[in-house]
Amino acid sequence: MWIAALLAITMVLTAGCKSKTEKTDEKNPYGLEIIASAQEYFQTVEADSSNLLVNLEHYIPGIVLDIRYATENNFTGKQIYTAPEAWLRKEAADSLLAIQKALNQEGLGIKVFDAYRPYAATLYFYQVYEDTTFVAAPWSGSIHNRGGAIDLTLIDLETGKELAMPTPFDEFSEKASHSYNNLPQEIIANREKLHQIMTSHGFTFYEHEWWHYNIKGRNKYSLMDISFEELQKIEKKQPNI
């Protein structure tokens, strides 16, 4: 009798482990350390308040969002995000706030194409486009998954129009590189303007994409796979965490 009971317990335990492993593998096939629940996220913020992800639309007055992955107007041709939102770790958001204020003095502003990106999107992007110059390697994860990267451009505050840049956002070509200079002087100056203001406020540039900037010390932040809906719920429930 006790053998049957022991067998039954073992079967239950094995079944439990198996389903958990299958679920983890599908969402995290490379076995990375990924923060994937609100509870885990709370713990990281409690341990270090700079881990807080900030909603840029609420945090930076006048910031313009054009979150392409929440539309079909992106390189995948599909809507990836369920909400057009931009979230960034607090230190990066503070730097961006200072940048927006400085730009506003000159009649310019920020338009954001992408910021924090749940890891699930990085897995999908690589399935669509397997060139790790332009799409993050899913086996290491993107700095966007860490909430430490932003894709952006400059706009004229009066017209709301984007300043002319070397390529559209996410054009995966050599023209998108910072070292590509076969361009009109005005465009080089606009790219340089963005580069100058970002790097003077603690961001580093990415050579192959004029629109992509990383916050310094980005690797201290964990990879995350928490949806925008989950972040919204957290923000409503615990606005001051």
| HSE-CB for 68 with a 13 A CA cutoff | 17
* Beta-strand relationship, 64-65 and 108-114: parallel
Options 59-67, 116-124, 154-162, 207-215: segment touching Zn ion (CB under 5 A): 207-215
Candidates 151, 176, 191, 231; binder of Zn ion (CB under 5 A) is 151
Work out the angle between the directed axes of helices 38-47 and 228-237 (0-180°, nearest 10). 60
Residue range at the interface with Zn ion (CB under 5 A); choices 1-9, 176-184, 206-214, 230-238: 206-214
Least distance to Zn ion from the beta carbon of 209, Å? Answer: 6
Q: Which residue is nearest to Zn ion (CB)?
A: 212
Nearer of residues 66 and 151 to Zn ion, judged by Cβ: 151
User: Which residues, 6+ apart, have CB-to-CB distance to 112 below 8 Å?
Assistant: 56, 63, 64, 65, 66, 67, 86, 150, 151, 152
Q: Smallest distance, Å, CB 7 to Zn ion?
A: 52
The residue within the footprint of Zn ion, chosen from 89, 212, 215, 218 (CB under 5 A), is: 212
Q: How far apart are CA 65 and CA 113, in angstroms?
A: 6
Binding site for Zn ion (CB under 5 A): 151, 212
